[in-house]
Structures are given as structure tokens and as C-alpha cells.
Amino acid sequence: MSTFTLRALATALIGSLAGGVGTAALASSHREAPFITQSPKVDGTDFYLFRSYEPGRANFVTLIADYVPLQDAYGGPNYFSMDPNALYEIHIDNNGDAKEDLTFQFRFTNTNKDGKFNVGGKQVSIPLVINGGPIDSVNPAGLNVRETYAVTLVRGDRRGGQRAAVVNTDSGSAVFDKPVDNIGNKAIPNYAAYAAKHVYNINIPGCATPARMFVGQRKDPFVVNLGETFDLINIKAPATEFAANAERAARDDLDDKNVTAIALEVAAACLTGGADPVIGGWTTASLRQGRLLNPLPKGGPAAFEGGAWSQVSRLGMPLVNELVIGLKDKDHFNSSKPSADAQFATYVTNPTVPALVELLFGKAGAKAPTNFPRNDLVTAFLTGVKGLNQPAKVTPAEMLRLNTAVAPLAMGAQNRLGVIEGDNAGFPNGRRPGDDIVDITLRVAMGKLCMLNIGCAPADAPAGGLHFTDGAYLDDGAFGAAFPYLKTPIAGSPQQ
């Protein structure tokens, strides 16, 4: 490829990252495709799948699906409720055929209590989510908008399989309250305690062991140096030796953002199928195909929605739609199923990002791998690593894969670089909150797996030993040691 053509490729790729999909895209899956920027409430941002490392919970698997990116804590008055016209799903494949065997479906409902104040002898509806009372319990009187949700487990095909409701172990109810967002310390003096009252013990149909569930706002767990990444990857050149200062040289541009998390903790035995301990997982969100705007809502719905569900968001392995899938296919990928991923194979076997990295950092020794097809990336993204997290029978497809037989490591003992640094309980064997996905992905893209003789040989990766980093540091110290693991969201006030 000529230098001119390669520079054109670099320009086009940077354009797709920075301009074509909005001002913030490289954040696992924040605003990663053109269409999803128009529907932030159904934008899946991150997906985590890992053996629980909370003491006493090692026989459980935690699944966390984050949605609604780039939440400013002060973003009132409506804040960041989920879309009552959407379908949010977490899928599990437990036999390697790239089709869902278990699907957890979440539907949300917003109820306006229509709180009123007596103003001059007239009862007048208030304009805010909170009506002046304290917020310290589930569905308190001071909360003007109540957000609830229901969960259905589907066994088999997500559209035609066997369906049953998930219920509260303590009350038997199939309706759960979601905590209001962290509006501020005056309205909610102890948000952590308030949110903890929304951690539910649940009965999952067909599972003898009770599970746990939490849905609510959390501090955005993803860490990335966004601004400088978009500026032609304006980060420090990769080093041949470890340098702690380089890995902490840049800010986390999501440090002041929140997200909304759907978190489940389920007994591993309830997720696996047969004797194979490996499961695959991904998340989706869907909207109705038809929308009719109401020209005169007058207290009613602003739109009427109906028709079949249309999938608009999909997330399994992090950064795939951002850094692997071409711009023209990003919306297509979001609407697709893992079982049809053969259509995207070229993006994995002949990736563009290593060529871009070589163009920008070639003088520092960052030469792209030379093995085509990139069987190392096929292993990481499409099949799982043989002997680690590859199912006994596997259909190549993009999803997170977790070997539930690999014991978890306690908080403080985890390596932020996961498998490539000898921690087999970390990414790409599932994904924990403390796995530094950006650094891992940069190194794997540039051939780190070749150095481990996974899908290629060391000679295929001239830069496979370089310490690529975006400079935004992440490890398990940034997270909690217990379910739901993600930190308390940033409060809207006070801001000092």
C-alpha cells in the first residue's frame, strides 16, 4: 500500500472515530454508530461478565450491562430514566452455537405521581422529579416520578422461547423500583445507602439458587483518554520497557460522567449448559419499528409506538464497533446477531487500526503484525482461546466468553491487563470492571498474542512486545469489592 493511500486510510479512520459518529465514541461503546447517537437511552455502553470476587460469592457470575452514556450529574430536571418504549436484553449462549439460550429482558415504566403545591388556593402540578420531601427509601413520598421495571427470562429463542417472570424473593412481586438518579446531596443526603435499598434478592425461573439484581445510576466505569485519542492518537509513543509514568500520563475524560447499570449476579450453574463451563454473553436494546408523533399531547404520550421490535444496539466484546467495524457497517452491526457475524469477518482478519498505528508510530518501532489472516484476533474476538475460554463446540461470533471454571481473584490481586499478563480470570476471559480494556486492546491489536504463540508466532509481530497505553490508568482499585461493584454515581450538587 502506498504512503498516500495509507495516509488517506488514516484520515478516513480518524474521521469515522471523531467526526462521523459524534464527539465521543471511543469509550467501549459510547455513541459508537451514527444512528445510536439519536437514541442515547438505548445506547449500550459497556458489558461486564465475570466470576464474582466478593468474598463468599465465588460460585456466582456477575453480569453488568451499562446504558445511557455521558450523563452529567447535574443534568436535570428530567435526568436519565430508561426508555419505557424500549426492550433491554442480556443474552447468554451456553452451547457455543452463537444463539441465545437464556435472555434476560428488562422493560421500564415511568409513573408521574403528579405532585401538587397549593399556590394561592389552587393545586398546581410541580415541574420537578422531586417535590421537596426526603429521598431515603424505596418509592418515598418525596419522589414525584416513580420508575419501575419488570424482568422476564426467556429460554431459547428470545422471540419465541419459554418465558417466565423474575420475582422478588422477599415479596414475591414481579415489579421492582429503580432509584432516582443522584440529583444532589440535599435531596438525597446518603445516596449509597439509598441505592443499596434497591439491591434485590430474586428468584430466576428454573434456577434453585436465589440471585441478586440492581438497576440504577452508577459512576461511569470506563476509563479512556478520549480527546488525545481522537487527535490522531496523540498519546505517548509506545515503549519497549514498562514505564509506570506513561500508563498514568493522561486524564480519564469520563471521570465526571455517570451511566445507568443493569446488574445481575446469578449462580454459575444456572447459566451453563451441560458439562461445558464456558458461556458467551452480549447485550442488546430494541425499539418499536413504528413511531407516530402526537401533535397535541395535553398530558398524554408525546408519541405512539408500535410494531415489531427492531434491534438498534449490540455490545459484547468492548471496542469492536468503534475500532474494528467500518463506518458504513456500524449501524448494521448494531442490528445484527452473533450467529450472522461471518459477514464481518474481514474486519477482524484484516484490521485497519494496526495500519493506522504503524503510520503514526512507525518511527518508534510500532510496526503492524504481518500475519494475514489475523488468526490471533479471530481467537480473541470470535472463538475464545483454546484451553481457556473456547467452548467445546464453537461457532465463530463476536461476544464476551467466560470460562466459569476459572476461579476469581480477590480485589487487589487482579492484574489490570488480564490474560496477556498471566491473569486468566481477566479479559478476554470475560471482563471485570478493573480490566484496562484500552491498553489490552491496543497491545492485542499490535500482536501481543503472537508473543504468546496464540494464533501466530512472535516473528509475525514486530511490535508485539511494546507497552502500548493511552495513559488513562485503570485497575480494580477504581471499583467496589462487592455487588454491584460499580461506584456510587457523582452527585449533581454540591459540585465543590
Low-confidence ranges of the chain (pLDDT < 50): 1-26
- Paired with 122 in beta bridges are 119
pLDDT at 299: 79
pLDDT at 91: 98
How far apart are alpha carbons 290 and 357 in whole angstroms? Answer: 42
For residue 466, what are the CA distances in angstroms to 330, 353, 431? 30, 16, 23
How far apart are alpha carbons 304 and 243 in whole angstroms? Answer: 56
Residue 483: closest CA among 171, 174, 72, 52: 52
Q: Tell how far CA 421 is from the center of its chain.
A: 23
For residue 296, what are the CA distances in angstroms to 301, 302, 304? 9, 8, 12
How far apart are alpha carbons 221 and 211 in whole angstroms? Answer: 23
Q: How do the domains of the chain map onto residue ranges? A: 36-460
What mean pLDDT, rounded, does the chain reach? 87
pLDDT at 253: 73
Residue corresponding to grid cell 444463539: 99
pLDDT at 228: 62
How far apart are alpha carbons 43 and 24 in whole angstroms? Answer: 13
How far apart are alpha carbons 41 and 95 in whole angstroms? Answer: 31
pLDDT at 223: 85
Residue 388: closest CA among 366, 406, 361, 362: 406
pLDDT at 9: 37
pLDDT at 385: 94
| Secondary structure (H, E, C), the chain | CCHHHHHHHHHHHHHHHHCCCCCCCCCCCCCCCCHHHHCHHHCEEEEEEEECCCCCCCCEEEEEEEEEEEEECCCCCCCCCCCCCEEEEEEEECCCCCCCCEEEEEEEEEEECCCEEEECCEEEECCCCECCCCCCCCCCCCECEEEEEEEEEEECCCCCCEEEECEECCCCCCCEEECCCCCCCCCCCCHHHHHHCCCEEEECCCCCCCEEEEEEEEECCCCCCHHHHHCCCCCCCCECCCCCCHHHCCCCCCCCEEEEEEEEEEEHHHHCECCECEEEEEEEEEEEEEEEECCCCCCCCCEEEEEEEEEEEEECCCCHHHHCCCHHHHHHHHCCCHHHHHHHHHHHHCCCHHHHHHHHHHHHCCCCCCCCCCHHHHHHHHHCCCCCCCCCCCCCCCCEEEECCCCCCCCCCCCCCHHHHCCCCCCCECECCCCCHHHHHHHHHCCHHHHCCCCCCHHHCCCCCCECCCCCCCCHHHCCCCCCCCCCCCCCCCCC
How far apart are alpha carbons 255 and 198 in whole angstroms? Answer: 25
Phi and psi (nearest 5°) for 118? -85, 110
pLDDT at 482: 97
- Count CB-CB contacts under 10 A for residue 159: 10
